[in-house]
Amino acid sequence: MFDSRKHRAAAALVALAYVAIQSFQWFVFARLPPADVPAQALMQGPLPLNVARAVAMLLAFPGLAYLFLVVCGLVHRRRPALAVAAFLGFFVFCLLEVQLRSVELFYVYLELPARYQAAASAAGQARVLAAQAAFQSVQHALYFPLGLSWLIASTLVCLGLGGHRLDGLAQWAFGLNAVRLLLRMLDAYVLGPRFDALYEALYLPLVFLTFLPLAAWLHWGGRDGAPAPPQAVVER
């Protein structure tokens, strides 16, 4: 069902839209004023440009869930079990992203700054900043299962593809994503955050290198559909 030409074309548009949203996020981060202390970072939250970025990113993940469903529908042609397992991983990733970004938008970006400005004392402001720090700690912890589920699902898709001449585009996209996630998780949870600046510089180029080939594969790859049944031989 989800491996039809119509769904592939829609999923390709989702991939392109995700690239556009990530580019907009890059632009917003470059335009936001520098934040040297937690209070300054907190007050960046309700800025209109940042709220627009947060809303766009939040809405991107239901779209990604649909994209991954289409991808897994195509993988299902060759490896049904891998397709189901991969989609479960993608679903966990998207679910955690939606939850985290919803809390970040409505609580950290909108509610906490209002509380901070309304606080009547330094102690009240300190409690607000402590709540911000608590969210960041929880966010850091939850990014481990979030990243791991995306890494595993991407690896399973790579293993499940290979039956079409253009499947290499998707294998490149998901393979690159898996390597990126593995290195990022090793840096964040094993080695300590030593390469944050490098990761931030490479993040958007890696989004392009991942989702543009994926969009091309969704649009042009697999157009032959599922393998046709053998033709009956008519004896003359």
- Model-level pTM? 0.89
Task: Taking the CA atoms of 42, 147, 137 and 194 in sequence, report the sign of the dihedral they define.
Answer: negative
CB 115 within 8 A of CB 128: yes
Which residue ranges make up each domain of the chain? 5-220
| H runs (alpha helix) in the chain | 5-31, 38-44, 48-75, 80-103, 112-118, 122-160, 167-186, 196-220
Chain segment 99-139, per-residue pLDDT in tens: 999 999 999 999 999 999 999 899 999 999 999 999 999 99
Q: What is the mean pLDDT of residues 59-81?
A: 95
* Residue 223 reports pLDDT greater than 60: no
Per-residue tokens: 166 = 């253009």
204 CB neighbour count, 10 Å cutoff: 16
- pLDDT in the model for residue 236: 35
